């Protein structure tokens, strides 16, 4: 009896290990959320992707599949919120460029960088203090990097403003520069890798902030909901959150670090932005 219990326990642990390492990290979920925005005149569909983490631990097929799902959702725009890689030296540059190029050729695609894409934090981990490797990948792919800057774009026959800031941990965030040319009164989507930046960005005019960074917790304990999240404000770990009359959306991301996920599937986020009746 004791031996049966032992074997059963070992079998369950082995199955959970295999699931966490090989199944769930590749089990993409497409989520769809409706976000009312008062300054919007017409509906806009955006796909929000983040944390691709191109690396030996993340299959190129997973990234391909996330882009295929994004394009199939027929969005007006794709918005990428950083951590394209896990380190700036261990990713397949040619593959990532060809993948991003296919995405950007299908849908206008804009991006900001994350803490893994170079900068102060990467340097502290023994990687590069330069973000140039990823900047050149985006340039060659046709993905527009919002480098502490704003852009006015036409989406569904109306003007929408995108603002992107550099990453907090990378030491590249400069909100004053990002909003210097921003036009007031225009529906504004802010891209910021780390949701902890909301306090620094609070004084500026925006309707919706898109972030990643948390991976949704990546490994989330069932029932207890506990997970390790590398940020201060754990209220903003995943999903759509109201905050001070605006919205913050945190996607769980596509890739991962260390090749594992549990109870927290990789995510392709389709955001239906809709005019809100005043």
The full 3-state SS of 190-209, as one line of letters, equals EECCCHHHHHHHCCCCCCEE
Q: What contacts 142, CB < 8 A, 6 or more positions away?
A: 100, 101, 104, 105, 109
Rounding to the nearest 10 degrees, give the CA dihedral for residues 166, 152, 110, 163: 20
Nearer to Fe ion, 24 or 83 (CB): 83
CB of 103 to Fe ion, least distance (A): 18
* Nearest C-alpha neighbor of 250 from the set 200, 219, 210: 210
The footprint of Fe ion (CB under 5 A) covers 51, 83
Closest separation in Å from C-beta 125 to Fe ion: 12
Q: Which CB, 187 or 212, lies closer to Fe ion? A: 212
Q: What are phi and psi of 248, to 5 degrees?
A: -125, 120
By beta-carbon proximity to Fe ion, the closer residue of 20 and 158 is: 20
DSSP-assigned states of every residue in 222-244: TTT-----SSS-GGGSSEEEEET
Least distance between Fe ion and beta carbon 22 (Å): 20
Residues 245 and 238: their CA atoms lie apart, in Å, by 18
Beta carbon of residue 134, minimum distance to Fe ion (angstroms, whole number): 13
Rank residues 108 and 217 by Cβ distance to Fe ion and give the closer one.
217
The smaller minimum CB distance to Fe ion, of residues 76 and 83, is found at: 83
Cβ–Cβ < 8 Å for 151, 110 = yes
Nearest-CB residue to Fe ion? 83
Shortest gap between Cβ of 224 and Fe ion (angstroms)? 23
């Amino acid at each position: 009896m004791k031996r049966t219990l032992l074997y059963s326990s070992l079998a369950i642990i082995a199955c959970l290990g295999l699931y966490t390492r090989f199944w769930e990290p590749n089990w993409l979920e497409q989520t769809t959320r409706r976000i009312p925005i008062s300054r919007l005149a017409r509906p806009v569909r955006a796909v929000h992707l983040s944390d691709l983490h191109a690396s030996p631990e993340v299959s190129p097929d997973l990234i391909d599949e996330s882009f295929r799902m994004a394009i199939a959702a027929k969005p007006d725009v794709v918005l990428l919120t950083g951590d394209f890689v896990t380190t700036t030296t261990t990713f397949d540059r040619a593959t990532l460029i060809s993948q991003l190029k296919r995405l950007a050729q299908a849908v206008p695609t804009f991006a900001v960088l994350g803490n893994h894409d170079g900068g102060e934090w990467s340097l502290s981990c023994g990687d590069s203090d330069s973000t140039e490797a990823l900047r050149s990948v985006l340039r060659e792919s046709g993905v527009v990097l919002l480098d502490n800057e704003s852009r006015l774009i036409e989406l569904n026959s109306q003007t929408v403003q995108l603002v992107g800031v550099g990453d907090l941990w990378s030491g590249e965030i400069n909100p004053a520069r990002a909003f210097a040319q921003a036009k007031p009164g225009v529906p504004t989507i802010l891209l910021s890798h780390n949701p902890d930046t909301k306090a620094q960005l609070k004084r500026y005019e925006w309707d919706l902030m898109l972030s990643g960074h948390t991976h949704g917790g990546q490994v989330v304990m069932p029932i207890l909901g506990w997970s390790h999240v590398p940020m201060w404000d754990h209220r903003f770990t995943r999903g759509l959150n109201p905050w001070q009359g605006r919205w913050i959306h945190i996607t769980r991301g596509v890739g991962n670090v260390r090749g594992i996920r549990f109870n927290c599937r990789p995510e392709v986020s389709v955001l239906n932005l809709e005019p809100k009746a005043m």
